[in-house]
Amino acid sequence: MLKPRAAFGYEANSAVRLGLLGCGGRGTGVATSFAKNISAQVVALADLFPDQLASGRAHFNEVNAGLGQQPISEKLLFLGPDAYKKIAGSPEVDLIQISTPPFFHVEHLGEAVARGKHVYCEKPVGIDIHQAQAALEIAKHVRSTQSVDVGFQCRNAPPIAAIAERIKAGALGKIAAASGSYNAPASTERVHAGAGADEYRLRNWLWDRALSGDILVEQNIHIIDLCNWLLGAHPLKATATGGRNILTHAGDCWDNYQVDFTYPGDVHLAFSSTQFGDYGNFDAGLRLFGALGSANVPYSGPMQITGAQAWAWQDPNAAAAEPGKFSANGAFSDNLAFADREKERTFVESITSGGVHNQIAAGVETALSCMLGRMAGYTHHEVTWEDLLAHGETYQLGMKLEQFA
């Protein structure tokens, strides 16, 4: 029998070779963390736009130099609409990190899986029903030697993992209801000299329904994923309202949603989200209420259970680093501080140990849950899970990417 490292081509001290597809803010941050914290080596880059590829190259050459590694080889820099095919087909790459705008995730995932790569794919897995169903087909073709993770790093945040373990063990008793929120500053405009209308849309994809899936599917998805995970189910139906009250910039995404999701057992999640003026404040979180007590699962602030099985997360790092901010109720540091690192660690371990993951179907389930709320909001009607799946909703990109070749 071969040991997993040998079977997968990783010698004891050799790094998993990472190819980054989409050299933007999140992609660069996560790949840097993979390199610095987890010892994956960034060996290849791909992007639609030359400036993004160039800045990614400069950044990772610096990261690699700091780690005593080689700069990115010229032949492993891929540019243009077909860059995703070239990086996925590169024999020098073991792992593709997909950090492109959401509209492209499923197409890029399909290529990377077909070329036998391990994949770290950002959320959401699909922005419409058609893409979600395509992703489920792709999931069936993931080989027993391939590992595929979806970027729901919140589940790996140590304080969230700790409270989840207690909730799943029954600390709240029977759940009565949940409430969740995601209130965040709206994203700012990206201006690129000489950009035409299509390029402007691509650069400002967060404002665009087809490219992002709207704020419920692109951003609020993290909280809905936590709710699905903690309740162990997806919502059965939803009613919703919302709209675009304050945003005046280009694009068609809403700036607020209020959704009532019904889960099995008639458990309701009252969810609200807003995008507002940027004054530096941001709050997101989930609360669960049960027969034995309640749980507070915030991005930032006390992570705790009150009631019969009272518990609070005590963050040793926050206590040491910022003692003034430590309270009797728990730590006030960012609960997601180590989420990415832990997510990346478990993913790379799944590759090197051979205990591979296939998170596509779970990622699709959460994306569909968000689409359920979005469809209820857009149609002003209650939408059931069955209605959603039968709908066949398909978004069109509305441009030809070949113009960027």
Of residues 107 through 146, those in contact with ligand NAD by CB under 6 A are 122-123
Residue from 15, 18, 19, 27 that binds ligand NAD (CB under 6 A)? 27
Residue from 147, 153, 335, 359 that binds ligand NAD (CB under 6 A)? 153
Nearest to 373 by CA among 244, 261, 232, 228: 261
Residue from 8, 31, 41, 47 that binds ligand NAD (CB under 6 A)? 47
**Residue 148 phi, psi dihedral angles, 5° rounding:** -130, 120
Q: Shortest gap between Cβ of 127 and ligand NAD (angstroms)?
A: 10
Tell me the H-state helices in 90-213.
105-114, 129-140, 158-168, 197-203, 209-212
Residue 151 near ligand NAD by CB under 6 A: yes
Distance (Å, rounded) from C-alpha 257 to C-alpha 314? 33
Specify burial of residue 12 (Cβ count, 10 A radius: 0-12, 13-18, 19+).
exposed
Stretch that binds ligand NAD, among 97-105, 168-176, 284-292, 344-352 (CB under 6 A): 97-105
Of residues 162 through 221, those in contact with ligand NAD by CB under 6 A are 202, 218
Stretch that binds ligand NAD, among 45-53, 171-179, 243-251, 290-298 (CB under 6 A): 45-53
Stretch that binds ligand NAD, among 33-41, 100-108, 229-237, 284-292 (CB under 6 A): 100-108
Which 3 state secondary structure label does DSSP give 348? Answer: helix
Nearest to 96 by CA among 37, 20, 41, 23: 20
Residue among 83 and 240 whose Cβ is closer to ligand NAD:
83
Distance (Å, rounded) from C-alpha 111 to C-alpha 138? 9
Residue 48 near ligand NAD by CB under 6 A: yes
Q: Shortest gap between Cβ of 299 and ligand NAD (angstroms)?
A: 10
Stretch that binds ligand NAD, among 19-27, 165-173, 243-251, 307-315 (CB under 6 A): 19-27
Residue among 104 and 261 whose Cβ is closer to ligand NAD:
104
Residue 52 near ligand NAD by CB under 6 A: yes
Question: Cα 66 to the chain's mean position, in Å?
Answer: 28
The 10 Å Cβ neighbour count of residue 195 is 15
Which 3 state secondary structure label does DSSP give 240? Answer: strand
Residue 23 near ligand NAD by CB under 6 A: yes
Stretch that binds ligand NAD, among 46-54, 61-69, 350-358, 367-375 (CB under 6 A): 46-54
Task: Tell me the residue nearest to ligand NAD as measured from the CB.
Answer: 24
Residue 395 near ligand NAD by CB under 6 A: no
Stretch that binds ligand NAD, among 99-107, 161-169, 246-254, 289-297 (CB under 6 A): 99-107
Of residues 299 through 338, those in contact with ligand NAD by CB under 6 A are none
Stretch that binds ligand NAD, among 40-48, 226-234, 286-294, 358-366 (CB under 6 A): 40-48
The 10 Å Cβ neighbour count of residue 396 is 8
Q: Shortest gap between Cβ of 223 and ligand NAD (angstroms)?
A: 11
Residue among 83 and 142 whose Cβ is closer to ligand NAD:
83
Distance (Å, rounded) from C-alpha 279 to C-alpha 301? 18
Specify burial of residue 403 (Cβ count, 10 A radius: 0-12, 13-18, 19+).
exposed
Residue among 215 and 383 whose Cβ is closer to ligand NAD:
215
- Asked whether 206 and 185 are in contact (CB, 8 A), the reply is no
Nearest to 122 by CA among 217, 57, 253, 256: 217
Of residues 77 through 96, those in contact with ligand NAD by CB under 6 A are 83-84
Residue among 72 and 383 whose Cβ is closer to ligand NAD:
72
Residue 101 near ligand NAD by CB under 6 A: yes
Q: With b meaning 16 or more CB within 10 Å and e meaning fewer, what string describes 56-87? A: bbebbeebbeeeebeebeeebbbbbebbbbbb
**Residues counted in the chain:** 405
Q: Shortest gap between Cβ of 57 and ligand NAD (angstroms)?
A: 12
Contacts of 197 (CB under 8 A, 6+ apart): none
- Asked whether 284 and 298 are in contact (CB, 8 A), the reply is yes
Judged by the rule CB under 6 A, the positions of this chain that interact with ligand NAD are 21-27, 46-49, 52, 83-84, 99-102, 104, 122-123, 151, 153, 202, 218, 401
